[in-house]
Amino acid sequence: MCITAIIPAYNEEQTIGSILDCLIHVEIITQIIVVSDGSTDETAAVAARYDIELIDLSENVGKGGAMKAGIERCINDNILFLDADLIGLTTQHVNDLIMPVISNDVDMTIGIFKNGRMVTDLAQKVTPYLSGQRAIKKVLLDKIPNIDISRYGVEVALTKFADKNSIRTKEVYLEDMTHVTKEEKLGIIKGMHARFKMYWDIVKVFSNDDSEEQIK
């Protein structure tokens, strides 16, 4: 059983290369899709240097929309989602995320940072449902309504769907991994604005009618 890796990316030229350097060495990953979500930097150009599939969206549609675009190109039964701003990703991390799903022990794994940096470790310990590092069976994603309009609330939508439908999940600790914070990318003011916008998207997902999330 093979797996497709999907990496939604918005202006991540500094980190996307190291993520792809890791993924191309994981044999069970037979398809890698980078979705440049209206990036205005060199994200798409860096990704294009690798033997992967690049979806270069002309405008920013949000994380949910970018993930949806990747899912539509997926040829495998299992999907690995990774954020494009990770620091310290290794093949061991990747295997730890995908093997429980490949072996059918669970339907979805959720990666949790550990011993990376205090600021990111604490954030994921408090709110693990916000993690963008996940492996999941594609058949379940096909049943989640309106995933493309969730924007930054997409991880919450996945977690809510799993809880509502008793999907088998497992938290996987990702040792010595962290990511670049929004404040580090954009500066304090713009970073905080982006963070509050993300939180607002999350609040909207929490407030949606749960009845839509039942498996049909």
What is the set of domains in the chain, with CATH numbers? 3-213 (3.90.550.10)
Q: How far apart are CA 23 and CA 17, in angstroms?
A: 10
**Tens-level pLDDT at each residue, the chain (216 residues):** 799 999 999 999 999 999 999 999 999 999 999 999 999 999 999 999 999 999 999 999 988 889 999 999 999 999 999 999 999 999 999 999 999 999 999 999 999 988 755 555 455 555 556 788 999 999 988 887 666 655 556 777 787 888 888 899 999 999 988 877 555 565 566 655 555 565 555 555 556 654 344 444
| Integer Cα distance of 26 and 3 in angstroms | 10
**88's torsion region: left (phi>0), alpha (psi -120 to 50) or beta?**
left
Residue 40 half-sphere exposure toward CB, CA atoms < 13 A: 2
Contacts of 141 (CB under 8 A, 6+ apart): 71, 79, 147
Which residue in the block uniquely carries the two structure tokens 């620091």? 87
Residue 66, pLDDT score: 92
Q: Is 132 helix (H, G, I), strand (E, B) or coil?
A: coil
78 by Cβ neighbours in 10 Å (0-12 / 13-18 / 19+) ranks as: buried
